Amino acid sequence: MASLFKPGADPDISPELQSFYSNEKQIRRNVVWILIMTIGWNISFTVIGPLMTLHLNACGANEGILGIMGTFNSWLYSYLVMYFAWKSDRTVTRFGRRIPYLFICVPGIVISTFFFPFFTTLWILIGLSLAQMFFTDIKAATIPLLNIDCIPRHRLARMGALMGIIGSIIGFFVMRYGMKLAEHSEKIPFYVCAVLATLTSGFAAFMIKEPPVHAREGKKETFKPWSALKVGWKDKREIFLMLGVGTIGGFNCVQGAWIWLFAKNVLGMTKTDMGGALSWGILVCMLISYPVGWIVDRYGSYITIAIYFVLATIAFGLAMIMNNAFLLAAEAIVVAINGVFYGGIDIMVYRSVHPKDIGSVTSSNSFLRGLIAGLIGGTSGLLIRISGGNYRWAFAEGYCFTVLSLVFFAIHWYLKNHEKSEVSPATPAAEPALAVD
């Protein structure tokens, strides 16, 4: 199924599904509403995430506490993503497979976000944060699958690029002016977030038409912790690929977790200054999103891994020396660019997967990524605490995980090509499972 989903190319795909993917008008309509929903969430949480971290820190949550919270959420997510993705694969409603979970998670996210800035008591803030994380985990386990479901696989990276371009333009202004607004009234951004997320999600839920993919026929299966893994790891070689995808983002994970507190506690920057410096990285993504998407769609992902690693090394070097707003902005730009390339690497996992298995495969990938992110988040927070507030220890740990990913990718590449060479010596060795054209 290397050509998912070009009309008539895949005999294993039902005629109804082939018809769905050949309906360009429907595809474009879905793309528009997915973009509207994504834009709504990007506008809302580009600023809210950092504001919640800063508010928690100001109310007494040190790096150790924040790291443990991140670990707890990441490891809980590792399980939830398997359950809800597996469950959504088998959900049949008039709204589709994924949309019903939007109705479940959005109220929880909106309510916990809306009331967050009203409190300064630490245990209440931690409770609201964990509640928001829980419902966000449900959303992350199901709603992003709409992109994969509704868009032909051979156009996925370009779709991601389009989202990246629009998101970059909006995110640039939201970051700059949202943080500036929070300097004067910390509560208003939370109100705007709650309203906008509700409206865009509500409209998209009724306008998006999901493809006609239904649960597999046969004996009714109940979920077990290994249910998704049984499908996602059917080919044991893919475990090494998923480990690579999870660990290569190590430095970006640490940077995302601690850069705001680094700017506040080490550089002494205000919210307005932080927004101004870190917003440039978002805007730069706009310039490279589509070219990166085209490269990934056309040439595959191994070249993307090499580019990502070089950029991660540059970002790590900047993190070790940054001591002013200019270097902070430069480091953020490199990290943001790498975020675009990461999307191309992640596509390696699910590009040639059958639609009925997509939830299990992506959730198996997210399971490992969540375990790794939790490990990185918790240990990096403790490193900052035991080092007396030295965030560079955390940056170094994240980079070590990025280096480790090269080992996993090398093992996966060797196993894939070794087996191919035994079965058919004439088969090209370069990324054989990922060719799409």
List the chain domain ranges: 15-213+227-434
Phi, psi of 240 (to 5 degrees): -65, -35
Q: What is the pLDDT of residue 437?
A: 28
Q: What b-and-e string marks burial along 188-206, b requiring 16 or more CB atoms within 10 Å of the CB?
A: ebbebbbebbbebbeebbe
How large is the average pLDDT for residues 126-132? 93
* Structure-token match 């088969």, residue found: 427
* Structure-token match 């994969």, residue found: 148
Stretch among 10-24, 216-230, 255-269, 372-386 having the lowest mean pLDDT: 216-230
How large is the average pLDDT for residues 382-403? 95
Q: What is the mean pLDDT of the chain?
A: 83
Q: Where does 15-213+227-434 sit in CATH, by number? A: 1.20.1250.20
Checking if the pLDDT of 5 tops 50, the result is no
As a whole number of angstroms, the distance between CA 283 and CA 329 comes to: 11
CA distances from 14 to 94, 284, 287 (A): 19, 41, 38
Q: What is the pLDDT of residue 425?
A: 39
How large is the average pLDDT for residues 1-30? 66
pLDDT band at 434 (very low <50, low <70, confident <90, very high): very low
User: Who wins on pLDDT, 353 or 174?
Assistant: 174
Checking if the pLDDT of 217 tops 60, the result is no
Q: What is the pLDDT of residues 278-324, one digit of tens each?
A: 888 887 877 777 777 777 777 667 888 988 999 999 999 999 999 99
How large is the average pLDDT for residues 243-249? 93
User: Who wins on pLDDT, 222 or 176?
Assistant: 176
Q: What is the pLDDT of residues 160-197, one digit of tens each?
A: 667 777 777 888 888 888 888 888 888 899 998 889 98
As a whole number of angstroms, the distance between CA 122 and CA 59 comes to: 6
pLDDT band at 153 (very low <50, low <70, confident <90, very high): low
283: tokens are: 């805007």
As a whole number of angstroms, the distance between CA 250 and CA 401 comes to: 5
Q: What is the amino acid identity at position 436?
A: V
Checking if the pLDDT of 275 tops 60, the result is yes
As a whole number of angstroms, the distance between CA 308 and CA 249 comes to: 9
pLDDT band at 427 (very low <50, low <70, confident <90, very high): very low
> Is residue 389 within 8 Å of 265, Cβ to Cβ?
yes
Decide: helix, strand or coil at residue 378.
helix
